[in-house]
Structure 1
Amino acid sequence: MRLRRGIAIAVVAGGGAVTTLLVGLVTNAVSNKSRWPGWLGWLQEHAWFSFVVLGVAMAGLTALLAGLSETRPPSPPGRPEDGAGPGAAQVLRSLPRDTAAFTDRAAELERLVGSVRASQERGEGVPVHVIDGMPGVGKTTFAVHAGHLLSERFPDGQLFVNLNGYTPGRTPVQASEALASLLTAAGVPTQQIPVGDGVGAVTEARAAMWRSRLAGKKALLILDNAASYRQLEPLLPGGSGCLVLVTSRKRLVANEEVVMSVDALPPDHAVELFVRLSGRPADALDRDVVDELVRLCGCLPLGVSLLAARLRHHPSWTAEDLRGRLVTAQDRLGELRAGERAVTATFGLSYRDLAPERQRFFRQLGFFPGTDLDAHVGAALGEVSVVVARLHLEALYDDHLIDEHPGSRYRLHDLLRDYARGLAAEGDSMDHAQAVQRVCTYYLAALAVANEHIVRSGAAVPPAPDGASRVETPVLESRTDALSWLETERATILACVRRANGLALYALVARLAAAMAPFLRQAGPWDQAVALHRTAAEAARHTGDQRARGDALAELGVVRRFMAAYPQAIEALNDAVTAYEAVDDRRGKAEALNQLGIVWYLTADNEDAARAQTEALALYRELGYRLGQANALADLGMTHRQMSRFDAAVEAQTEALSIYRELGDRYGEANSLRDLGVVHSLMGAYDLAARHHQEAFDIYLELDDRVHQAYALNELGVVRRLTGDIEAARTAHSQALTHFTELGERFGRANSIRHLGVVERVTGDAAEAIRLLEEALGAYRELGSRGGEAASLSELGVARGIVGERDGAIEAFQRGLEILRGLGDRCGEAEALSHWGMLLLTSDEPTAARRHFGQALTLARDIRCPLEEARALEGIGRCDWTVDGPGHGVSSLRAAVTVYRRLGVSAAVDDIERLLVSRSG
């Protein structure tokens, strides 16, 4: 490659030189007749010499230009090469940074790297490597350092998870929670992560998704601070190409692991580490004194690094000074066992060196319920300003008493957390409750700010706590800021709820749960929300606050609805109604009734749904609460539509739409537009329906609401199919299916699959239609959606009839009609009767078929559903034509054509006209 480039450069350079000579000679010849002025005259007299110089210069410049054109800066690490644009997959890298406190461990590293290399070279599965040892020995540091060394062998990502196996004051992370974090880090949307009541089933489902996510990949996973093999087993990838490093204080034994015990550093290595971190020349330190210092630390890397930092930060100290201080501290704080006594003494020495106000701040950190915090939380804990808290945190970080965490956050090491908690426990027992109360109050104030951005316009926002004006909250200027902050703080807020509940601060528990409800409604995971609202309901029972108990139960019911756990949702919402009635909270009762009505609508208990929404609407009107009125009207309209009361549905939705626009509630506006589109589609106004659905979709897009975007796409797809644009229908339903699948929305996903089954039936692939419709039927039955079940059965009857499964088709029609009649869905009943009639007609049973079409016509005209009227008229005409011969049934057929033309259903018009022409000919 270099030779070819050199030859090319030489050719270009030579060509440039020759060209220069030729140009010069011509110029000289032309200019011989006159004398050039000044120094140019000398060049004219020595032409050959000057042209040779110019040629050489040209050759040099050409070579330089070629070299520069061949040189380009290397791509920075992690940057995509050509062709890997913004859509390229990103490699996950969440390992903590490597630390300067790591020293040697050559034997352990050689064994680990050798084991991994050997497995890969032999093509065998890489075994799990368990790194165990005593606290403070450097297990995590060793694992992280090894992870960085091996990262190139595992290019598909490196992940780090702290399982809190031995974190003071923290229960070990459950496998299901760890799997949720891993799946989120791997890019799985929160709503898609499996949820449910059975911990075992949820863990198994999440583990299966995690294994699928890593299948065929080469990734590295560090599971830090494991408590047991049972805790980590579900987190292990199923493929053979991934490396898992586990650290634990406990020896974890299983057949497939490689167990590596990390012991304290050899004295020489501990001394080397101390000297390196102390910043002092080795010859300036008394080796015997340093030997004793590291021995007093048990040669643990954590203790050595803290001692060295103390010496580095005190230039006037000698090693002898440090030894004296340490011995004194050891005598005072000698309550721990020998292996940890020196480390605790080191903590004590570092703590004693702090200013009094910083000592108090450090003690307060022992009360913190979470694992990592920022300056705002630190300010609440320490009762100082955010500026002062930030100074304290940065100073503690410099003193190695706290670790820095991404996002300007800080975290105490497990042993330091234990030490800080011990110091805090030496004070007044009330200090703990007061510290937790201060943190909870801060979070309530910050949540009030965040909720201003995420709660719907006009909806009630959980109020800020008393004294919120004195609390410094983070700057959240947009919905994006609020959601990002909430996602970061979610785990800590939930930990605060648990700690407050344990301290019997029940009022705070209920208020925090209410403040978190708007976020958890949309972000999930919903099983986490269920646990929170159950805790809040029980806390409110302890305080006797029925209103707060009603709020918690109502939120529990909403989340249960999201999870499609409809019986549990109804139970919680009924209990909420009872709680609100006990304190005459009409607003709360109306909200709970509205939610009950939605659940009954989803289960097609239409009479109950209409009754609940009507009662809620009356309460909202008494209270003058306009948003509540709009919500109840919109949900009542949906119920009327499901009961084929189309005029009543349009009336209710139109009034709801007007109120939503009056309030500027874009979300409510979109919902009403979408349901109006559904009603107009059933009434045959397809252009109007399509316009409403498109308007709704555009608003959902503006709101970044992917769930409702998908619902609007499904409705658009139905209109496209009915008007003959089959490919547009398929595209819309496929896009909706993708959204629902990614978000884990099971009801919407079932709808998309059913609609795609209808598309396949219309395009002639009956076998694929049956497969899709049976899948949708199973999903609806799991969800308890009788309306979805009936719609699927009706379409299954058509598809089975096409492939000759007459008995199966009739069975599907019978079951579907039974459900539809129980629901009062007369439009669906008319459609099923027409489908059944067409099956009978093609089975040479025209007389029975005509009875079915006649029943369908009566229903369609009664509810004014033009599409079903046209289908029934067509069926009657075809039956008469078949029974009585050509020329009979023409009036019914022509009446059907008139309706089809009005609806824009051109394919049906063409079919009938071909029949009329062929028979008359």
Structure 2
Amino acid sequence: MRLRRGIAIAAIAGSVAVTTLLVGLVTNAASNESEWPGWLGWLQEHAWFSFVVLGVTMAGLTAMLAALSETRAPAAPPSASGRSEDVAEPPGAALVLRSLPRDTTAFTNRNAELERLVGSVRASQDRGEALPVHVIDGMPGVGKTAFAVHAGHVLSEQFPDGQLFVNLNGYTPGRNPVQAGEALASLLAAAGVPTQQIPVGDDAGAVTEARAAIWRSRLAGKKALLILDNAASYRQLEPLLPGGSGCLVLVTSRKRLAAHEEVVLPVNALPPDHAVDLFVRLSGRPADTLDRDVLEELAGLCGYLPLGVSLLAARLRHHPSWSAEDLRERLTATRDRLGELRAGERAVTATFDLSYRDLPPERQRFFQQLGFYPGTDLDAYAGAALGAVSVAVARAHLDALYDDHLIDEHPGGRYQLHDLVRDYAHGLAAEGDSMDHVQSVQRVCTYYLAALATANGHIVRSGASVPPAPDSAAQVETPSLESRADALSWLESERANVLACIRRANGLALHDAVIRMAAAMAPFLRQSGPWDQAVGLHRTAAEAARQTGDNQALADALAELGVVRRFMAAYPEAAEALNEAVTQYDAVGDRRGKAHALNQAGIVWYLTADNEGAARAQTEALALYSEVGDRLGQANALADLGMVRRQMSNFEAAVEAQGEALSIYRELGDRYGEANSLRDLGVVQCLMGAYDLAAQHHQEAFDIYVELDDRVHQAYALNELGVVRRLTGDLEGARDAHTQALEYYTELGDRFGRANSNRHLGTLDRLSGDAPAAIRALQEALEAYRDLGSRGGEAASLSELGASRGMTGEQNGAVEAFQRSLEILRELGDRCAESEVLNHWGALLRTSGNPAEAHGHFERALRLARDVRCPLEEARALEGIGRCGWMVDESAPAAEALRGAITIYRRLGAGASADEVERVLASRAG
């Protein structure tokens, strides 16, 4: 990539030089001010030739600049040229708190630093300048995070649009630093961006840029506070910085970060007297009962770091019989225990060791296990699984460790270890049996699998299989998840921890755990995304299955990978994964799994206009589902087969398939499937002219989607209702429905749905006589369809675009659009839509004064419409034939055709169209 860009830049530089030379030649030729030597003189004498060369050079320069800019622009749709499918890297996720952690009691007397920060913020705000990034740096344990959080609480009222806290894991033991793209996905979700709206793809750089753009847009004009904790580098955090001027970003890091506009706020060890005051306050002892000289020595032994001082003070508070001298002796005896640590951390580690030795044996063991926890934060349930204790015992341990300042507390009963404490706990655990690490991770994975099974019971469709919990799941306690809302909330809270567990399990070669957890997370990631995170997960599971030779698990992982790839509109990659899944299911004799993969592959082929392939896949899937008695699978295959038949203009067969699917969905009590089939039935009935029935089914589907709180499908039902209203003359009602649908799609980030709404609104603009507005809306829809690879949408947009261009006199552009639309529709086999295009084209020819050619188009449209039983297009074709007949004085045939059109329009309920044709007949009769 760099080589190609270098060549392009060199070529551009050369072109600029040539352009400058030619401009000089042409200028001198015009002014005769001087003569150029040699062959340049010949060019000066023949100025016309210089003009030609100059024009060619400028055109080439423009093309190269465009090409170069394209290489920098991130593609909206995913590309197959990204990371190889063979790379199996477990996904990561950032832990984001939607509000600040609680302020710590250990915070003490950072008045100078706080005044500097508050003064910097106030000065920028008073001058109306953008707030600079404030980087808080210092050694571990010095209190950087405590200072950032305290400052955030002090300043929170100035940033009412939200406060977000992100742990970037820059120096967290056992955790890789959070990648900017993952952090952005978590930030966008925390800020309320629907996951469907978060960009995904294989090109990590392009995806990060796209997410960063949305993040900056989301915070534009807002006053929000963002704390980026534990950053490893400026490169890691740069994409996370808001673009607006009103947001304050506080960054904590162990090292100085090279930013251009930052304000650096170094946080150093406490002054000795402040450290002693902190010790006295946290010890719970009256100051006059403590020897201040001893306290100064204690504070010095822990490097005057707040973390160490807090731990020492807690020891004294929990041992009323100890004196400060007793504490000093114990600390001195343990300070060299872990000498491999850097000198600046050694004394702090000694305070950890002293605190640890003071714990009861069972709490010591629990604390050791915390060093093995793969996630970022945990609750009592995860702690219980990790320590192999009950939840009640785990909660008591966590509360006691918090009181001892060995862990920090977050909102919602969650706890987190400081990086140094985690490192210390991990070091203690590593001194024991090496298998203990593996067993601890296995226990945590078992807990998550059990909890995921409960959560999936709420979010998976009725009748669909749920990944089962392992047999050992009965040994762990799980949180109470009573509803879908509970399940989704728990899943979102635990997403980063579950993915971290999968990553750790993968690193420990616990392949079975990786496979099971990936399958258990699949339903949630299908619904909530980000889908590129799901792709990484299923790649990891597939590689784990290959390592163990588990073809069943490999097939399952490939099938899930194919589904997610379809969601991402990466159709070739989806088809490849699903085809391989079919092969693997065949190898293990899993007919149900093969049916699932075929059903999903059939959807991919339907979306890519391979109707024959789609029909074959759905028919085979239907047969397999019937063999194994999977009623939900049968309904799904029938419904998808109905959509294929509709796209092939086989309307009666489509109604039959959808009707059968609807019966099964109702039998199973699957409201989601019932609503989908009702909507699809309405679409077919609309094409067949049964507008009343179509409107009824669309309304029923919409009501069910409201009941299910599914705004995506509410929008789809609204669009279909809008179409029926337009066809029956209610243009205002149609616009309301399409506009509401467009708002939902925009909010949810559904590009395909948004394109549909724009296309329908463009049609309404055309019918209202506003051709420029129609062209704008249709052009936007066309570009989206092409980006998404939707050929049916592209053809429909081109058809309407041709009609709209015809209204503005752009006959050549209109014809070009009609021709391309017909090419696509003939490949798709959509004869009803082909008839519509021919009618549009015929209308353009008729109004352009070419009735004979127009008549031919209307005749072809009439044959197609009657062949597939599409009454609306039949009526339009008859109307066109009649109008052409009047133009060439064929009165009798024209009147007959127009009366036929009126009859069909009246039967369909299209009263406005019928009235207009009647006025034409009446005027000719008069």
Map of 1:612 onto structure 2: 617
Matched, 1:155 2:192: no
Deviation at 1:232?
Answer: 0.9
- The within-5 A match list for 1:231-246 is 231-246=236-251
Code of the aligned partner of 1:627: L
Matched, 1:718 2:728: no
> Which shifted more, 317-326 or 115-124?
115-124
Matched, 1:257 2:262: yes
SS of aligned partner of 1:480: helix
Structure 1 residue corresponding to 2:608, chosen from 580, 603, 610: 603
For the 8 Å contact 1:133–1:248, the answer to whether it is kept is yes
Matched, 1:129 2:126: no
Q: Deviations over 1:74-119 (max 9, x none)?
A: xxxxxxxxxxxxxxxxxx9712222221111222222222222222
Map of 1:345 onto structure 2: 350
For the 8 Å contact 1:753–1:772, the answer to whether it is kept is yes
Structure 1 residue corresponding to 2:912, chosen from 903, 907, 913: 907
Q: Deviations over 1:696-729 (max 9, x none)?
A: 1111111111111111111111101101111111
Map of 1:624 onto structure 2: 629
Code of the aligned partner of 1:419: Y
Deviation at 1:600?
Answer: 1.0
Alpha-carbon distance in 2 for matches of 1:298, 1:179: 36
Deviation at 1:796?
Answer: 0.5
Deviation at 1:197?
Answer: 1.3
Alpha-carbon distance in 1 for matches of 2:129, 2:655: 66
Map of 2:50 onto structure 1: none
For the 8 Å contact 2:227–2:251, the answer to whether it is kept is yes
Matched, 1:668 2:679: no
Alpha-carbon distance in 1 for matches of 2:672, 2:201: 28
Alpha-carbon distance in 1 for matches of 2:527, 2:593: 21
Tell me the number of residue pairs that the alignment of Structure 1 and Structure 2 aligns.
830
SS of aligned partner of 1:225: strand
Matched, 1:203 2:208: yes
> Which shifted more, 142-151 or 719-728?
142-151
Matched, 1:318 2:323: yes
Deviation at 1:271?
Answer: 0.7
Q: Deviations over 1:870-890 (max 9, x none)?
A: 011101111111111555500
> 4+ residue stretches of structure 1 with deviation over 3 A?
885-888
Alpha-carbon distance in 1 for matches of 2:519, 2:824: 39
> Which shifted more, 238-247 or 608-617?
238-247
Q: Deviations over 1:156-205 (max 9, x none)?
A: 33222111111111111111111122222222112211111111111111
SS of aligned partner of 1:306: helix
Structure 1 residue corresponding to 2:368, chosen from 355, 360, 363: 363
> Which shifted more, 560-569 or 810-819?
560-569
Map of 1:49 onto structure 2: none
Code of the aligned partner of 1:100: T
Map of 1:831 onto structure 2: 836
Alpha-carbon distance in 2 for matches of 1:765, 1:199: 42
Map of 1:480 onto structure 2: 485
Alpha-carbon distance in 2 for matches of 1:140, 1:167: 13
For the 8 Å contact 2:336–2:346, the answer to whether it is kept is no
> Which shifted more, 340-349 or 884-893?
884-893
Structure 1 residue corresponding to 2:223, chosen from 218, 228, 233: 218
Map of 1:533 onto structure 2: 538
Alpha-carbon distance in 2 for matches of 1:484, 1:150: 29
Deviation at 1:659?
Answer: 1.0
Deviation at 1:646?
Answer: 0.4
For the 8 Å contact 1:887–1:920, the answer to whether it is kept is no
Structure 2 residue corresponding to 1:554, chosen from 551, 559, 562: 559
Code of the aligned partner of 1:920: A
Alpha-carbon distance in 1 for matches of 2:567, 2:146: 42
Structure 2 residue corresponding to 1:466, chosen from 445, 468, 471: 471
- The within-5 A match list for 1:295-334 is 295-334=300-339
TM-score (norm 2): 0.88
Structure 2 residue corresponding to 1:409, chosen from 407, 411, 414: 414
Structure 2 residue corresponding to 1:399, chosen from 404, 426, 438: 404
Map of 2:273 onto structure 1: 268
Alpha-carbon distance in 2 for matches of 1:327, 1:852: 98
Map of 2:658 onto structure 1: 653
Map of 2:793 onto structure 1: 788
Deviation at 1:154?
Answer: 2.7
Deviation at 1:520?
Answer: 1.0
Code of the aligned partner of 1:834: N
Q: Deviations over 1:728-760 (max 9, x none)?
A: 111111111121222222211211111111111
Alpha-carbon distance in 2 for matches of 1:400, 1:100: 10
Deviation at 1:445?
Answer: 1.1
Map of 2:31 onto structure 1: none
Assess, with a 3 A threshold, how the Cα gap between structure 1 residues 888 and 650 changes in structure 2: closer, same or farther. closer
Deviation at 1:777?
Answer: 0.7
For the 8 Å contact 1:203–1:234, the answer to whether it is kept is yes
Structure 1 residue corresponding to 2:887, chosen from 878, 882, 891: 882
Structure 2 residue corresponding to 1:139, chosen from 134, 141, 144: 144
For the 8 Å contact 2:675–2:701, the answer to whether it is kept is yes
For the 8 Å contact 2:651–2:688, the answer to whether it is kept is yes
Matched, 1:742 2:747: yes
Map of 2:234 onto structure 1: 229
Map of 1:840 onto structure 2: 845
Structure 1 residue corresponding to 2:177, chosen from 172, 191, 196: 172
SS of aligned partner of 1:237: coil
Matched, 1:389 2:389: no
TM-score (norm 1): 0.89
Deviation at 1:324?
Answer: 0.9
Alpha-carbon distance in 2 for matches of 1:414, 1:892: 83
Q: Which is higher, the Rg of structure 1 or of structure 2?
A: 1
Map of 1:588 onto structure 2: 593
Alpha-carbon distance in 2 for matches of 1:144, 1:884: 86
Alpha-carbon distance in 2 for matches of 1:814, 1:333: 78
Alpha-carbon distance in 1 for matches of 2:126, 2:525: 47
Code of the aligned partner of 1:201: A
Q: Deviations over 1:332-378 (max 9, x none)?
A: 33332221111111111111111111111111111110011111111
> Which shifted more, 463-472 or 631-640?
463-472
Map of 2:815 onto structure 1: 810
Map of 2:875 onto structure 1: 870
Map of 1:448 onto structure 2: 453
- The within-5 A match list for 1:55-94 is 94=99
Q: Which runs of 5 or more structure 2 residues have no equivalent in the other structure?
A: 1-96
Q: Deviations over 1:858-901 (max 9, x none)?
A: 01111111101101110111111111155550000000000000
Q: Identity across aligned pairs (percent)? A: 81
SS of aligned partner of 2:169: coil
Deviation at 1:282?
Answer: 1.3
For the 8 Å contact 1:334–1:345, the answer to whether it is kept is no
Code of the aligned partner of 1:257: E
Q: Deviations over 1:267-319 (max 9, x none)?
A: 11111111111111111111111011000010000100111111111111110
Alpha-carbon distance in 1 for matches of 2:839, 2:164: 58
Code of the aligned partner of 1:588: G
Deviation at 1:467?
Answer: 2.3
- The within-5 A match list for 1:412-427 is 412-427=417-432
Considering Cα pairs closer than 8 Å and 6+ residues apart, tell me whether 1 or 2 has the greater RCO: 2
> Which shifted more, 551-560 or 876-885?
876-885
- The within-5 A match list for 1:428-447 is 428-447=433-452
Matched, 1:819 2:801: no
Map of 2:737 onto structure 1: 732
Code of the aligned partner of 1:865: C
Code of the aligned partner of 1:733: H
Deviation at 1:768?
Answer: 0.6
Alpha-carbon distance in 2 for matches of 1:135, 1:274: 19
Code of the aligned partner of 2:415: Y
For the 8 Å contact 1:333–1:348, the answer to whether it is kept is no
Cα RMSD (Å): 1.2
Map of 2:122 onto structure 1: 117
Matched, 1:569 2:574: yes
